[in-house]
């Protein structure tokens, strides 16, 4: 990674570029908040952010500390509650969900519950929160997470949030909306997609500047599909870095 920017900054910028103008997006805690804030400033000014505890359409002038914080209601178009927000997703009105996780498997299933056995676990994690609802009910989901073999695993220790479950037809068999599911993983090394319509397994599609395909493979705990042409993502611009460091996260809470 370049001395000009960190792997985390590269990941945030890549995630911000994935956010589409004029869409609704469920934003999770942490890195997704920074990416959404950057996207609103540069790429998606009419992005409608949706937060678990009721903030809808907030302008992220300052970084929220949590999905229930007052900043998730700043200049929002609506301030409701968690039941209304989840019903909105159930009705099919949320385009994207941006999620994090401790583990992800080849089909995009996420674990934010435990590492090891459920009882007693090696590590007890925060749990689902709204993660299961987001992964189950948003039309498309994007995972944002660090890339290493401990996190990209053959099978998650606990299935908190469904991706494509056990492969083709898995979501439909579970009663989830047809045509929904994960479309992208934004990691600290690369951009990955899925073989949708085929095996539904994770596929490497682009690497960051200075990162090789071999490095991504070495840091993944399962066999990755490789796109016919693996491209290189553009590095962060000076303006992206300035906004991140000076306006969005000047105290360095996440970067």
| Annotation says 240 is catalytic | no
Q: What is the DSSP string of the chain?
A: --TTS-HHHHHHHHHHHHPPTT-EEEE-SSHHHHHHHHHHHHT-TT-EEE-TTSEES---SS--SSTTSGGGGTT-SEE--HHHHHHHHHTT---EEEE--SEE-TT--EE-SEES-SSS-SEE----TTHHHHHHHSSEEEEEE--STTTB-SS-SS--B-SSTTSTTHHHHTTPPTT-EEEEEEESSEEEEE-TTTT--EEEEEE-TT--HHHHHHT-SSPPEEEEEEEEPPPPPHHHHHIIIIIISTT-S--
Token pair 């609802």 in the structure block, residue: 133
The span from the CA of 255 to the CA of 249, in Å, is 7
The residues with which 232 forms a beta bridge, in sequence order, are 207
Of the residues 52, 140, 205, 240, only one is catalytic, namely: 52
CA-CA distances (angstroms) from residue 79 to 24, 82, 87, 148?
Answer: 15, 10, 14, 38
Active site residues: 52
């Amino acid at each position: 990674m370049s001395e000009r920017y960190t792997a985390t900054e590269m990941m945030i910028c890549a995630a911000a570029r994935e956010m589409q103008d004029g869409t609704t997006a469920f934003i999770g805690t942490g890195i997704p908040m920074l990416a959404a804030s950057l996207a609103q400033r540069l790429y998606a000014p009419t992005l409608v952010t949706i937060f678990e505890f009721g903030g809808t359409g907030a302008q992220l002038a300052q970084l929220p500390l949590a999905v229930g914080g007052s900043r998730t209601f700043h200049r929002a178009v609506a301030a409701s509650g968690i039941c209304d927000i989840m019903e909105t997703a159930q009705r099919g009105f949320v385009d994207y969900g941006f999620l994090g996780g401790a583990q992800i498997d080849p089909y995009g299933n996420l674990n934010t519950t435990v590492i090891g056995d459920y009882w007693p676990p090696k590590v007890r994690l925060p749990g689902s929160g709204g993660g299961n609802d987001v992964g189950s009910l948003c039309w498309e989901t994007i995972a944002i997470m660090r890339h290493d073999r401990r996190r990209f695993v053959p099978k998650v220790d606990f299935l908190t949030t469904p991706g494509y479950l056990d492969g083709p037809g898995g979501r439909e068999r579970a009663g989830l909306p047809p045509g929904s599911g994960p479309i992208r993983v934004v990691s600290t090394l690369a951009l990955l997609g899925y073989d949708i319509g085929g095996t539904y397994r994770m596929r490497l599609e682009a690497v960051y500047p200075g990162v090789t395909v071999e490095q991504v493979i070495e840091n993944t705990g399962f066999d990755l599909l490789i796109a016919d042409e693996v491209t290189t993502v553009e590095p962060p611009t000076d303006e992206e870095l300035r906004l991140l460091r000076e306006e969005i996260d000047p105290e360095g809470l996440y970067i």
